[in-house]
Amino acid sequence: MRPWHGCGPGSTPGRSTLFKMNSSKAIKQLRFLEKLVSNHKLRLAAEWKEKWKILISTILSPQTKDETTIKISGILYKKYSSPEKLANTSLKEIKRIIKPINYYKTKAKHIKETAKIISKHRIPKTREELMKLPGVGRKVANVYLAEAYNAQTIGVDTHVSRISQKLGWTKNKNPYKIEKDLEILFPKNYWNSINYIVVRFGRIYGKSRKNEDKILKRIKSLN
């Protein structure tokens, strides 16, 4: 788990009227969520040091359990130890290996095409350049940058969207607008922990929305 870096709580001057709660309360809620997921520490960046592997696994991860992504990625990298080798294998073989991954047919095309690009060029270090790669949208780019470089970015997926709305962190449903609301609400040094904590909570407790709602109601009442 990334450590908090000592930026004290406080709302952004001139913008706090956008939220019913202040930054201090939101931080308290996030820390409570963190405690609930502290025993579940599976993490893509913790599995691989090579940035190309983090990138490919991040492309594979949406709508798939981390346990599955990590297991299938491990099989993939054992057989193909470099982007060049992955790029040169057949699409049919990639599909066969990653079949347990949700949307594996589309993701197989994306990782093969991305592997081909990064085998010839350096992996981009900016969100804008990363988003030019197949299978890399804003959320995947943000998550990759947070995992690979500890960058202060917020990846907004369905879990972050749903839980942020339920806790009152945002009233928006558009991922980009949610990202911007969270950037206003939380001090910058918290940004790259939001996706990890909230997604983990959503995957663990969101299997039963009734149970999730009960926990979030309790968290929302924190002062």
Give the HSE-up count for residue 172: Cα atoms under 13 Å, Cβ half-sphere: 13
Share of the chain above pLDDT 70, in %: 88
Q: How far apart are CA 198 and CA 193, in angstroms?
A: 8
Q: What is the dihedral of CA 99, 145, 2, 155, to 10 degrees?
A: -70
pLDDT score for 10: 38
pLDDT score for 15: 45
Domains of the chain by range and CATH?
16-37+152-220 (1.10.1670.10), 44-136 (1.10.340.30)
Confidence of residue 96 (pLDDT cuts 50, 70, 90): very high
Q: What is the pLDDT of residues 16-59, one digit of tens each?
A: 444 556 899 999 999 999 999 988 766 666 688 899 999 999 99
Report if pTM > 0.95. Answer: no
Q: What is the pLDDT of residues 151-193, one digit of tens each?
A: 999 999 999 999 999 999 999 999 999 999 999 999 999 999 9
pLDDT score for 47: 81
Over residues 194-215, mean pLDDT: 92
Q: Is 78 a catalytic residue?
A: no
Instruction: Indicate which residue of 139, 166, 214, 217 is catalytic.
Output: 139
Confidence of residue 201 (pLDDT cuts 50, 70, 90): very high
Mean pLDDT, all residues of the chain: 89
pLDDT score for 72: 96
